[in-house]
């Protein structure tokens, strides 16, 4: 019986994709992605990549896929802006680039920023050349779904030798006040040689109805370029989210990614870095701080393709209530990637008896002259340390919050923008002192 339901759900998604294809009949990669999705179908419970994250079952229970999206209402996007962080502001409402709410302050000779749909429709050569270049639609059904059905997003192009002095802030807002919302968004960032750009994305919603989003961010980081990506997932609404980030790095490039998952019903993050050159440096930081019935799943892949590069990955999780954390990290070192340094660590604290975490660090090394390590730890707060603080007059809840803050602080201290760091620090501190 369940198989029949899953096949029907897949058919409903195919119907959604076909409606999108009718609007973009000339884009062959969409048709190829649809064919890939039909071959893969939505993942079943036994799917190795999704066995801890039952997205298909949750879609069946919580969404009517044959219904159209609720219309977005008028809203004040500024209520979701990060205090004190100034830059180029891009607002995406129900998957569509909002010209009305977006403000671009950087000069046009420094960076091109527009809606991705507009860039493609205008035949922007860079957008057309790089769109879907590094997304593998043959192995993940949600990547195929998004590639076939995306409606809009953000296009960012930084020319050679340009440093974008203001960050690009992308606010993804779902307006679910009039009913459910299902969106497919796409972001494309292309940097030139010796350039640099920082992107901050934040997810929020309005209304009590359910909303499901697939979002793919593709970034091509050219030789000696720098790219920083901050992702803040703190939507307390009925958010079900699948996010895929694919970053391709060339020689001597630098990438830093920061993923903060603090709320939502289900959040699945797929992050993949391809280090395709020598002298590359990559850092990946993640924090999932969840409670109630939130499920936060982080799947990461670091693919070392050439020699003499460095990657470092640190993800930390704190689970309370009935929440569940998942971490699956893979590091590949190919035969030609000699002199690779690759490090990965996942550390977790479980607060309640009902919370759980599943962690699976992996290394696949085909080179013999490398330095690689991985590891994971899962435990509870140190009762002796907690007693020590209480014995000195600190209330138990405050003592617990202090210990947890010390644990997550290692992630926060790596945030490079002072105003953003202060915002996240306040957010995390308040959450910990309120027992989540």
Tens digits of residue pLDDT in 316-331: 999 999 999 999 999 9
Q: Which of 145, 196, 193, 146 is nearest to 168 (CA)?
A: 196
pLDDT at 173 over 70: yes
Kindly report which listed range (255-259, 280-284, 346-350, 378-382) carries the lowest average pLDDT score: 378-382
pLDDT digits (tens, 9 = 90+) for 74-89: 999 999 999 999 999 9
**pLDDT of 1:** 34
For the cut 70, the answer to whether the pLDDT of residue 61 exceeds it is yes
Task: Report the Cα 408 to chain-centroid distance in Å.
Answer: 19
Residues 6 or more apart from 385 whose CB is under 8 A from it? 403
Position 241 pLDDT exceeds 70: yes
CA terminus-to-terminus distance, the chain: 39
Q: In this model, does residue 38 exceed pLDDT 70?
A: yes
Q: 3-state DSSP call for residue 20? A: helix
Taking the model in full, what pTM does it have?
A: 0.95
Q: Could you give the CA distance from residue 240 to residue 223 in angstroms, rounded to a whole number? A: 36
* Confidence (pLDDT) at 3: 41
Helix (H) or strand (E) holding 275: strand 266-275
Task: Give 131's strand partners.
Answer: none
- Residue appearing with tokens 């059905």: 149
**If you average pLDDT over each of 61-65, 192-196, 377-381, 382-386, which comes out highest?**
192-196
Contact between 349 and 357 (Cβ < 8 Å): no
- Using H for helix, E for strand and C for coil, what is the string for 192-254? CCCCEEEEEEEEEEECCCCEEEEEEEEEEECCCCEEEEEEEEECCCCEEEEEEEEEEECCCCE
User: Is the C-alpha dihedral spanning 204, 314, 403, 317 positive or negative?
Assistant: positive
Please compute the mean of the pLDDT values over residues 52-71 and round it to a whole number.
90
- What is the model's pLDDT at position 436? 59
pLDDT of residue 269: 98
Integer CA distances (angstroms), 144 to 11, 14, 17, 35, 139, in order? 14, 11, 10, 9, 8
Give me the pLDDT at residue 25, please: 61
Q: Which whole number is the average pLDDT over 118-136?
A: 93
Residue reference for tokens 């000339």? 26
Exposed, middle or buried: residue 38 (CB in 10 Å: 0-12, 13-18, 19+)?
A: middle
Average pLDDT over residues 139-167: 97
Is 180 a residue whose pLDDT tops 60? yes
Residues 6+ apart with CB under 8 A from 197: 111, 156, 158, 163, 164, 167, 168, 189, 191, 226, 227, 228
Of the chain, the percentage scoring pLDDT greater than 70 comes to 97
- pLDDT of res. 92: 97
Spatial distance between the Cα atoms of 373 and 338, rounded to a whole number of angstroms: 15
pLDDT value for 6: 45
Query: Chain-wide mean pLDDT for the chain?
Result: 93
Mean pLDDT of 218-242: 95
Dig out the tokens for 126 from the structure: 């860079």
Sign of the Cα pseudo-torsion (20, 14, 231, 73, in order): positive
The pLDDT assigned to 4 comes to: 42
Structure confidence at residue 7 (pLDDT) = 45
Residue with tokens 């039952």: 54
Tell me if 172 sits within 8 A of 213, measured CB to CB.
Answer: yes
pLDDT at 335: 97
- CA atoms within a 13 Å half-sphere pointing along the CA-CB vector of 217: 25
**How do residues 253-279 score in pLDDT, each as one tens digit?**
999 999 999 999 999 999 999 999 999
Structure-token match 């079952």, residue found:
57
Taking the CB of residue 341, how many other CB atoms lie within 10 A of it?
16
Residue 377 reports pLDDT greater than 90: yes
Contact yes or no for 367/335 (Cβ under 8 A)? yes
Q: Residue 23: pLDDT band by 50, 70, 90 thresholds?
A: confident
**Per-residue confidence (pLDDT) for residue 44, from 0 to 100:** 86
Identify the pLDDT of residue 5. 41
Cα four-point dihedral sign 414, 419, 422, 425: negative
Model confidence at 151: pLDDT above 80: yes
pLDDT of residue 435: 64
- Higher-pLDDT residue of 344 and 64 is 344
- Residue count (the chain): 436
């Amino acid at each position: 019986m369940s198989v029949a339901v899953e096949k029907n759900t897949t058919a409903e998604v195919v119907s959604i994709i076909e409606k999108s294809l009718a609007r973009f009949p000339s884009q062959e990669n969409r048709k190829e992605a649809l064919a890939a999705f039909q071959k893969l179908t939505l993942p079943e419970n036994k799917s190795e990549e999704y066995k801890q994250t039952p997205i298909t079952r949750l879609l069946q229970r919580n969404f009517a896929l044959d219904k159209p999206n609720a219309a977005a209402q008028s809203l004040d996007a500024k209520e979701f802006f990060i205090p004190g962080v100034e830059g180029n502001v891009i607002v995406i409402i129900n998957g569509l680039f909002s010209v009305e709410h977006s403000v671009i302050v950087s000069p046009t000779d420094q960076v091109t920023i527009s809606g991705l749909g507009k860039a493609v429709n205008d035949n922007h050569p860079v957008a057309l050349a790089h769109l879907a270049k590094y997304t593998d639609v043959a192995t993940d059904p949600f990547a195929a779904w998004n590639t076939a059905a995306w409606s809009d997003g953000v296009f960012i192009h930084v020319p050679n030798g340009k440093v974008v002095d203001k960050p690009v802030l992308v606010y993804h807002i779902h307006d679910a006040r009039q009913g459910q919302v299902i969106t497919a968004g796409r972001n494309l960032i292309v940097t030139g040689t010796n350039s640099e750009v920082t992107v901050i994305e934040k997810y929020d919603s309005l209304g009590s109805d359910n909303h499901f989003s697939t979002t793919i961010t593709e970034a091509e980081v050219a030789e000696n370029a720098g790219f920083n990506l901050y992702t803040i997932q703190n939507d307390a609404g009925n958010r079900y989210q699948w996010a895929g980030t694919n970053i391709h790095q060339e020689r001597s490039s630098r990438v830093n990614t920061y993923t903060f998952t603090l709320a939502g019903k289900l959040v699945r993050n797929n992050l993949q870095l391809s280090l395709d050159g020598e002298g590359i440096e990559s850092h990946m930081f993640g924090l999932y701080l969840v409670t109630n019935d939130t499920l936060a799943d982080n799947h990461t892949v670091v693919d070392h393709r050439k020699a003499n590069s460095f990657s470092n990955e640190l993800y930390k999780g704190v689970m309370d209530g009935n929440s569940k954390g998942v971490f699956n990290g893979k590091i590949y070192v190919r035969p030609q990637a000699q002199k690779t340094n690759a490090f990965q660590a996942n550390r977790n604290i479980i607060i309640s008896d009902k919370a759980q975490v599943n962690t699976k660090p992996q290394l696949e090394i085909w080179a013999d002259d490398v330095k690689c390590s991985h590891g994971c730890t899962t435990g509870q707060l140190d009762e002796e340390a907690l007693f020590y603080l209480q014995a000195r007059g600190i209330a138990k809840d405050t003592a617990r919050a202090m210990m947890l803050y010390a644990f997550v602080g290692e992630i926060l201290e790596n945030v490079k923008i002072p105003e953003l760091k202060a915002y996240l620090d306040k957010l995390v501190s308040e959450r910990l002192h309120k027992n989540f």
